[in-house]
Structure 1
């Protein structure tokens, strides 16, 4: 659902950019509460994983494909504020390096694919967890449902923006029907990928899944006919905990590299939902050439590498590497700011008394 330049006029694109920038600013502040020394590196990995999986277009209808948006997955794994930042980093890297998603439309894309998907998915996810019994299955069901609903919500948001600032005269009723209809189908794929990934991480490290924290409940023992809290288990030594987190990080990075560098060659070549609707309804008649169309990595291929498989694979590997580097850098800075805030607060506390 990467909106190119020329679909939405300049005033609406600028307004969306302001709204997206405000959301990113709020998320930068909120992410300080979500990130710690273990989850900050994993947030960069989540961004790289989303980049990789977005290269895997899957067929959803005749001549139409879809791909992961990633907002639901990021929000559940690392938290909603950090999730917005993860997807925003992915969109920035795609726009600058790969000419995917217009640069003047970056605000529109961040608003649709990062903010709306995270807000809708996480609200549905948390709401369902309050209704469902505590357990891993409930987390997976809630993740599936939140992801499913987040995709048509993003499609509806694009339609609303197009109704206000579309550059072509197309009946909005036809656009909303086509956009929401095809993205409901894409949402099923999004939901399956999100639920499978969340379930896989919960199976090995539930303590690192932001949305699964309610699974950690005190162990109860019956003593003298009454239930009492069991003694807390001995803490895992820091080096062992670091090795465990490092193993998960390396496994995730290797998976992302394999998906982007090898599996992506077998992805569907059909246009995605937005591209298909735009072509069928005439939305794309005023599309503009991407400012980075001459990039050595444009269209997810490496310039001057003639072998299509090798070219696409190298581009995918470069994209994963760049995204994990930039994402990890961003989240390290956010984490450092949180540490500084905590230090300042602890230092000021005695004097306040």
Structure 2
């Protein structure tokens, strides 16, 4: 999914750079509402995990490989605004230090993986969570569906950008088939990894999972002493 330098023309790259900068600016403000002293360290841990996980590629056939995007995973764990900051930091380090994605294409990569991937993944997650039973364990399948949807969504947006400003001599039809076809397969791997990680955290510390907090509040039990009035003692 990392777009290299020169793959899109200058106007398209500049436009996505402006979109990425605006998205990061909004994320800097929004992240303040998501984090507190207890959950803030999770942002660093999630960014480190996504960075490491993106270095591991898995084959999807015909010599093509994919890797974790991590947008939906980060959004479920630390919130969508904080996830945008996580992905943007990871992509910046990769572009500057590891030549993974071009520097002039940094705005495009942040837009695709940091904004589209996070946004679509989290919106789908919230929609699926709303129709499942209100239990913390239901965060896992909802996160998996959101992760799966985020990958072809990012691929579809890239296809649109290529149609506008693509520099390679490849037909837009071929690009669409290749991107959407293979990234649907890659999305299955994304869903599996996301489900495994989220399930591990939910099983141990569900209170640290941003996407599980509404469900934890809904499942709070009220325990009373025999003969005590309602609300006398509450266990949370």
Give CA deviations for 1:30-88 in whole Å, capped at 9, x if unaligned.
00001111111110111011000111101111311110001001000000000000000
Q: CA separation in 2, counterparts of 1:61 and 1:229?
A: 59
Q: CA separation in 2, counterparts of 1:168 and 1:5?
A: 11
Q: CA separation in 1, counterparts of 2:232 and 2:68?
A: 42
Structure 1: stretches of 5+ with no match in the other structure: 235-353
Give CA deviations for 1:140-178 in whole Å, capped at 9, x if unaligned.
110000000100001011111110000134221121111
Distance 1:44 1:230, change over 3 A: farther
Q: Is the 8 A contact 1:136 1:199 kept in 2?
A: no
Counterpart residue number, 1:17: 17
TM-score by length of 2: 0.94
- Find out whether 1:181 has 2:194 as its counterpart: no
Q: CA separation in 1, counterparts of 2:92 and 2:205?
A: 29
Give CA deviations for 1:322-343 in whole Å, capped at 9, x if unaligned.
xxxxxxxxxxxxxxxxxxxxxx
Counterpart residue number, 2:50: 50
Q: How far did 1:220 drift?
A: 2.9
Counterpart residue number, 2:67: 67
Give CA deviations for 1:251-277 in whole Å, capped at 9, x if unaligned.
xxxxxxxxxxxxxxxxxxxxxxxxxxx
- Find out whether 1:172 has 2:172 as its counterpart: yes
Q: CA separation in 2, counterparts of 1:123 and 1:11?
A: 29
Q: How far did 1:218 drift?
A: 2.5
Q: How far did 1:224 drift?
A: 8.9
Q: Is the 8 A contact 2:224 2:232 kept in 1?
A: no
Q: CA separation in 1, counterparts of 2:173 and 2:46?
A: 36
Q: CA RMSD in A?
A: 1.9
Q: Of the two, which has the highest radius of gyration?
A: 1
User: How many residues end up aligned between the 2 structures?
Assistant: 234
Counterpart residue number, 2:221: 219
Q: How far did 1:138 drift?
A: 1.5
Q: CA separation in 2, counterparts of 1:86 and 1:69?
A: 11
Q: CA separation in 1, counterparts of 2:137 and 2:209?
A: 14
Q: How far did 1:223 drift?
A: 8.3
TM-score by length of 1: 0.64
- Find out whether 1:209 has 2:209 as its counterpart: yes
Q: CA separation in 2, counterparts of 1:130 and 1:146?
A: 13
Alignment of 1:136-147 (within 5 A): 136-147=136-147
Structure showing greater relative contact order (alpha-carbon pairs closer than 8 Å, 6 or more residues apart): 1
Counterpart residue number, 1:82: 82
Q: CA separation in 1, counterparts of 2:223 and 2:51?
A: 45
Q: Is the 8 A contact 1:140 1:195 kept in 2?
A: yes
Q: How far did 1:232 drift?
A: 3.5
Q: CA separation in 2, counterparts of 1:151 and 1:230?
A: 49
Distance 1:230 1:81, change over 3 A: farther
Q: Is the 8 A contact 2:149 2:187 kept in 1?
A: yes
Alignment of 1:326-345 (within 5 A): none
Q: CA separation in 2, counterparts of 1:230 and 1:58?
A: 55
Give CA deviations for 1:107-157 in whole Å, capped at 9, x if unaligned.
000000110011101001001111110123311110000000100001011
